Amino acid sequence: MMDFKTEFKPLTVQPQQIEGRSFEMIDEEIGEHHFTEEQYPIVRRVIHASADFELGKSMLFHPDAVQAGIQAIRNGKKVVADVQMVQVGVSKPRIEKYGGEVRVYISDPDVMEEAKRLNTTRAIISIRKAIKEADGGIFAIGNAPTALLELIRLVKEGEAKPGLVIGLPVGFVSAAESKEELAKLDIPYITNLGRKGGSTVTVAALNAISLLAEQV
Protein backbone atom coordinates (compact mmCIF):
# COMPACT_ATOMS: atom_id res chain seq x y z
CA MET A 1 0.00 0.00 0.00
CA MET A 2 1.35 3.42 -0.95
CA ASP A 3 2.19 5.86 1.80
CA PHE A 4 0.60 9.14 0.70
CA LYS A 5 1.99 10.89 3.74
CA THR A 6 5.46 10.89 2.22
CA GLU A 7 6.43 14.45 1.41
CA PHE A 8 6.76 15.19 -2.30
CA LYS A 9 10.07 16.79 -3.22
CA PRO A 10 10.05 18.56 -6.59
CA LEU A 11 13.04 18.43 -8.89
CA THR A 12 15.35 21.41 -8.54
CA VAL A 13 17.51 20.87 -11.62
CA GLN A 14 17.49 23.41 -14.43
CA PRO A 15 15.22 22.88 -17.48
CA GLN A 16 18.27 22.51 -19.72
CA GLN A 17 19.51 19.66 -17.53
CA ILE A 18 16.15 17.89 -17.73
CA GLU A 19 16.10 18.21 -21.52
CA GLY A 20 19.69 17.06 -21.79
CA ARG A 21 19.05 14.03 -19.62
CA SER A 22 15.89 13.25 -21.59
CA PHE A 23 17.88 13.20 -24.84
CA GLU A 24 20.47 10.94 -23.23
CA MET A 25 17.74 8.52 -22.20
CA ILE A 26 16.29 8.54 -25.73
CA ASP A 27 19.73 7.83 -27.20
CA GLU A 28 20.16 4.94 -24.77
CA GLU A 29 16.73 3.42 -25.37
CA ILE A 30 16.10 3.84 -29.08
CA GLY A 31 18.41 1.02 -30.10
CA GLU A 32 19.19 0.34 -33.73
CA HIS A 33 17.62 2.67 -36.28
CA HIS A 34 17.97 3.53 -39.95
CA PHE A 35 17.95 7.32 -39.70
CA THR A 36 20.76 9.46 -41.08
CA GLU A 37 22.82 11.87 -39.02
CA GLU A 38 20.72 14.83 -40.20
CA GLN A 39 17.40 13.05 -39.74
CA TYR A 40 17.99 11.72 -36.24
CA PRO A 41 17.80 15.09 -34.39
CA ILE A 42 14.28 15.48 -35.74
CA VAL A 43 13.29 11.96 -34.72
CA ARG A 44 14.77 12.51 -31.27
CA ARG A 45 12.71 15.67 -30.73
CA VAL A 46 9.56 13.90 -31.91
CA ILE A 47 10.20 11.16 -29.34
CA HIS A 48 10.98 13.78 -26.70
CA ALA A 49 7.64 15.50 -27.39
CA SER A 50 5.60 12.31 -27.41
CA ALA A 51 7.52 9.81 -25.23
CA ASP A 52 6.64 7.37 -28.01
CA PHE A 53 9.46 5.35 -29.53
CA GLU A 54 7.10 3.54 -31.88
CA LEU A 55 6.02 6.87 -33.34
CA GLY A 56 9.63 8.02 -33.61
CA LYS A 57 10.75 4.88 -35.40
CA SER A 58 7.84 5.18 -37.85
CA MET A 59 9.11 8.51 -39.20
CA LEU A 60 9.71 8.76 -42.95
CA PHE A 61 11.91 11.31 -44.73
CA HIS A 62 12.31 12.26 -48.34
CA PRO A 63 16.08 12.30 -48.99
CA ASP A 64 16.05 16.08 -49.52
CA ALA A 65 13.66 16.91 -46.68
CA VAL A 66 15.99 18.23 -44.01
CA GLN A 67 18.09 20.39 -46.30
CA ALA A 68 14.97 21.68 -48.06
CA GLY A 69 13.50 22.72 -44.73
CA ILE A 70 16.71 24.43 -43.65
CA GLN A 71 16.93 26.37 -46.91
CA ALA A 72 13.27 27.38 -46.78
CA ILE A 73 13.78 28.87 -43.32
CA ARG A 74 17.04 30.57 -44.25
CA ASN A 75 15.41 32.03 -47.37
CA GLY A 76 12.64 33.58 -45.29
CA LYS A 77 9.85 31.43 -46.69
CA LYS A 78 6.52 31.28 -44.89
CA VAL A 79 5.57 28.46 -42.57
CA VAL A 80 1.93 27.44 -43.02
CA ALA A 81 0.30 25.65 -40.08
CA ASP A 82 -3.01 23.84 -40.43
CA VAL A 83 -4.25 24.85 -36.96
CA GLN A 84 -3.46 27.41 -34.27
CA MET A 85 -2.01 24.73 -31.99
CA VAL A 86 0.88 24.29 -34.41
CA GLN A 87 1.27 28.03 -34.89
CA VAL A 88 1.45 28.64 -31.13
CA GLY A 89 4.05 25.94 -30.53
CA VAL A 90 6.52 26.95 -33.24
CA SER A 91 9.60 28.88 -32.15
CA LYS A 92 8.76 32.03 -34.08
CA PRO A 93 11.99 33.96 -33.36
CA ARG A 94 13.99 31.31 -35.22
CA ILE A 95 11.67 31.67 -38.23
CA GLU A 96 11.39 35.44 -38.11
CA LYS A 97 15.14 36.08 -37.81
CA TYR A 98 15.44 35.09 -41.48
CA GLY A 99 12.40 37.13 -42.55
CA GLY A 100 9.82 34.37 -42.43
CA GLU A 101 6.55 34.14 -40.55
CA VAL A 102 4.16 31.47 -39.31
CA ARG A 103 0.66 31.70 -40.77
CA VAL A 104 -2.54 29.77 -40.24
CA TYR A 105 -5.49 30.44 -42.53
CA ILE A 106 -8.23 28.20 -41.17
CA SER A 107 -9.98 30.94 -39.20
CA ASP A 108 -9.72 33.68 -41.83
CA PRO A 109 -13.19 35.13 -42.55
CA ASP A 110 -12.88 34.55 -46.31
CA VAL A 111 -11.88 30.92 -45.70
CA MET A 112 -14.87 30.32 -43.46
CA GLU A 113 -17.21 31.99 -45.93
CA GLU A 114 -15.89 30.02 -48.90
CA ALA A 115 -16.04 26.72 -47.00
CA LYS A 116 -19.66 27.38 -46.14
CA ARG A 117 -20.49 28.35 -49.72
CA LEU A 118 -18.91 25.20 -51.13
CA ASN A 119 -20.12 22.98 -48.29
CA THR A 120 -16.60 21.72 -47.60
CA THR A 121 -14.08 21.91 -44.77
CA ARG A 122 -12.20 25.02 -43.74
CA ALA A 123 -9.03 22.94 -43.77
CA ILE A 124 -9.37 22.34 -47.51
CA ILE A 125 -10.12 25.97 -48.32
CA SER A 126 -7.28 27.19 -46.09
CA ILE A 127 -4.79 25.13 -48.10
CA ARG A 128 -6.14 26.56 -51.36
CA LYS A 129 -5.55 30.03 -50.00
CA ALA A 130 -2.16 29.20 -48.51
CA ILE A 131 -0.60 27.91 -51.72
CA LYS A 132 -1.20 31.31 -53.32
CA GLU A 133 0.75 33.09 -50.59
CA ALA A 134 3.40 30.59 -49.51
CA ASP A 135 5.08 29.28 -52.64
CA GLY A 136 8.21 27.39 -51.62
CA GLY A 137 7.25 27.51 -47.95
CA ILE A 138 6.96 24.86 -45.27
CA PHE A 139 3.52 23.33 -44.76
CA ALA A 140 3.21 21.90 -41.24
CA ILE A 141 0.08 19.74 -40.92
CA GLY A 142 -0.50 17.97 -37.62
CA ASN A 143 -4.24 17.90 -37.18
CA ALA A 144 -6.23 17.79 -40.41
CA PRO A 145 -5.80 14.88 -42.85
CA THR A 146 -8.16 16.68 -45.23
CA ALA A 147 -5.69 19.57 -45.42
CA LEU A 148 -2.86 17.18 -46.25
CA LEU A 149 -4.92 15.36 -48.87
CA GLU A 150 -5.85 18.65 -50.51
CA LEU A 151 -2.22 19.76 -50.56
CA ILE A 152 -1.24 16.44 -52.13
CA ARG A 153 -3.91 16.91 -54.80
CA LEU A 154 -2.68 20.40 -55.60
CA VAL A 155 0.92 19.20 -55.81
CA LYS A 156 -0.08 16.45 -58.23
CA GLU A 157 -1.93 18.97 -60.39
CA GLY A 158 1.05 21.32 -60.43
CA GLU A 159 -0.72 24.09 -58.54
CA ALA A 160 1.32 23.83 -55.33
CA LYS A 161 5.10 23.82 -54.96
CA PRO A 162 5.90 23.61 -51.25
CA GLY A 163 9.49 23.71 -50.13
CA LEU A 164 8.79 21.07 -47.50
CA VAL A 165 5.69 19.28 -46.24
CA ILE A 166 5.67 18.13 -42.63
CA GLY A 167 2.63 15.88 -42.70
CA LEU A 168 1.97 14.28 -39.32
CA PRO A 169 -1.81 14.39 -38.80
CA VAL A 170 -3.27 12.23 -36.07
CA GLY A 171 -6.55 10.33 -36.14
CA PHE A 172 -8.63 7.41 -37.28
CA VAL A 173 -10.22 8.77 -40.46
CA SER A 174 -7.80 9.29 -43.37
CA ALA A 175 -4.79 10.14 -41.19
CA ALA A 176 -2.72 7.06 -42.03
CA GLU A 177 -3.92 7.08 -45.64
CA SER A 178 -3.02 10.74 -46.18
CA LYS A 179 0.52 10.09 -44.96
CA GLU A 180 0.88 7.07 -47.22
CA GLU A 181 -0.09 9.27 -50.18
CA LEU A 182 2.38 11.97 -49.14
CA ALA A 183 5.21 9.43 -49.05
CA LYS A 184 4.53 8.57 -52.69
CA LEU A 185 5.29 12.11 -53.87
CA ASP A 186 8.69 13.15 -55.16
CA ILE A 187 8.82 16.34 -53.11
CA PRO A 188 10.58 17.02 -49.80
CA TYR A 189 8.43 15.63 -46.99
CA ILE A 190 8.59 14.45 -43.40
CA THR A 191 5.85 12.08 -42.30
CA ASN A 192 5.26 8.83 -40.44
CA LEU A 193 3.41 5.56 -40.77
CA GLY A 194 0.09 4.94 -39.07
CA ARG A 195 -2.51 6.87 -37.11
CA LYS A 196 -0.18 8.51 -34.62
CA GLY A 197 0.99 12.08 -34.99
CA GLY A 198 -0.51 15.39 -33.95
CA SER A 199 0.23 19.06 -33.46
CA THR A 200 2.81 18.45 -30.73
CA VAL A 201 5.03 16.20 -32.82
CA THR A 202 4.58 18.44 -35.87
CA VAL A 203 5.84 21.36 -33.82
CA ALA A 204 8.73 19.24 -32.54
CA ALA A 205 9.82 18.34 -36.08
CA LEU A 206 9.58 21.93 -37.28
CA ASN A 207 11.45 23.31 -34.28
CA ALA A 208 14.18 20.74 -34.82
CA ILE A 209 14.64 21.96 -38.39
CA SER A 210 14.71 25.60 -37.30
CA LEU A 211 17.45 24.70 -34.79
CA LEU A 212 19.44 23.07 -37.59
CA ALA A 213 18.94 26.18 -39.73
CA GLU A 214 20.69 28.27 -37.08
CA GLN A 215 23.78 26.09 -37.16
CA VAL A 216 26.59 27.29 -39.38
Give the model's pLDDT for residue 13: 61
Q: Which pLDDT value is given to residue 6?
A: 61
- For the question of residue 33 being annotated catalytic, the response is no
User: What is the reported pTM?
Assistant: 0.90
Domains in the chain (CATH in brackets) are: 58-214 (3.40.50.10230)
Core vs surface per residue 158-192: b (16+ CB within 10 A) or e: eebebbbbbbbbbeeebbbebbebbbebebbbbbb
Q: Mean pLDDT of successive 10-residue segments in the chain (216 residues)?
A: 58 70 89 93 96 96 98 97 95 95 96 97 96 95 96 97 97 96 98 97 97 88
- 160/158 Cα distance (integer angstroms): 6
Q: How far apart are CA 135 and CA 154, in angstroms?
A: 12
33, 34, 48, 62: which is the annotated catalytic residue? 48
d(CA 169, CA 174): 9
pLDDT given at position 11: 59
Region of 33 (left: φ > 0; alpha: ψ -120 to 50; beta: rest) is beta
pLDDT at 12: 57
Q: How far apart are CA 86 and CA 201, in angstroms?
A: 9
